[in-house]
Structure 1
């Protein structure tokens, strides 16, 4: 269980540096320590700019940030409803095993239900067996019939050029 007082709150513009630090910590955990290209300015624009494209919540333990969840609205044409897509979930190593990750997921599920969304989805790296087991224990089901596809960088520019 959580040691001390744990709260989950919406991120504010004052949290951008903390969010970026936690995102870098997540990248290190996911074996991609140099992959984070997002600057604080990028995060501020995406989360708090004129047209935000994502949202974030921060988990705090006795006022200290120990976790984050970054998410956005997706859409299901088959359901005709929105969904909540979790981009990143991270809890600092020293705070793991205390229910913070579960509390973040419960919080986001509550947001999805309150907004009338049809689903709550995310991806997990196939080598991350502890996370896969954790998610399955919460009722999440692997979508093994789907293959994630991506176009980025030079390939994205070529595709856009036709």
Structure 2
């Protein structure tokens, strides 16, 4: 199983980049994992929000494969504990999922067709975080979940 972490927006912030990379490297001990930063459409600032979301959504949908399991990160999604996330990842592996795509949408969220394509909508918190921080939390939580699956000491129960 491969794990892909997609984020609509700008490249990793220099201040958080090292930490994001550290947890991504740790995650790779368990599964092939990589980041894809999807650049917003040109002239995004001049677009209406609905048009921006539509264009971002088309970029995302065009890159997804039919067999991808899409997890959309959204503040209105289902909340999971770290142990729940570990069970979710283990279930995907058991079902021989080829690729899980974790998507962090654009600044205004995602277009409805992307939401409908997602097999799961996951909320990290009821709080809203900057994209860069979400990237770090996502990488760390995926690493934590994998360490839970393997019974390693990183996660203290």
| Higher percent of residues as helix | 2
Q: Which one has the largest radius of gyration?
A: 1
Is the structural similarity TM-score above 0.5?
A: no
Q: TM (normalized to structure 1)?
A: 0.29
Scaled by the length of structure 2, the TM-score of the pair is 0.30
